[in-house]
Amino acid sequence: MTNRVLDLAMSVFLFLLGGWIVIGAFGLGIWSPIGPAAGFFPLAGGLLLAVLSLASLSRAARGLDVPTGKTALRDIAPIASVVVLAAAFLGAVEFVGMFASLPFFLVLLSLCVQWRTDARWLASISAGAVVFSVICYFVFKQFLGMLVPAGPLGF
């Protein structure tokens, strides 16, 4: 697959993903009487993703700054796995809850970027993911008072 075709395909895919995120954000609510609601940040992120994807699509369609040559499948797989994982996470948040699913997402994201299975590394990544999730809970839920999707465990 040429780099230009890959750029075009990924730009279209990411634009559609951004649109899906924006639509989902409205389902979560954008604003509440006390400030930003659960869908506010996904809305901003989805809009940013859609706009940047259109810019990338425009550049790829005109052939600007596209490296020549072909991209190997082994180079595409980590990028595609991150995109698929992010889409799965966004789909699962409504059912599992934002903060209950975040540590799993972060660990899987690390494995997509760099596949390592030694116990010490996995333990450190897992601990970091849990700490980060707890910090996010206190920042978004407690400090900012945002309405976030809660799962069956209540968080």
Tens of pLDDT, residue by residue over 90-146, are 888 878 888 888 899 999 999 988 888 899 999 999 999 999 999 988 888 888 777
If one counts every other C-beta atom within 10 angstroms of the C-beta of residue 7, the result is 20
3-class state of residue 116 by DSSP:
coil
Residue closest to 59 by CA, chosen among 10, 97, 7, 111: 7
pLDDT, one tens digit per residue, over 55-64 is 999 988 887 7
Q: What is the 3-state secondary structure (H, E, C) of 122-153?
A: HHHHHHHHHHHHHHHHHHHHHHCCCCCCCCCC
CB of 2 closer than 8 Å to CB of 27: no
Q: Tokens 């009487």 correspond to what residue?
A: 33
Label residue 2 by pLDDT band (50, 70, 90): confident
What one-letter code names the amino acid at 145?
G
Q: Which of 87, 99, 91, 90 is nearest to 150 (CA)?
A: 99
Least confident interval from 5-9, 50-54, 74-78, 126-130: 74-78
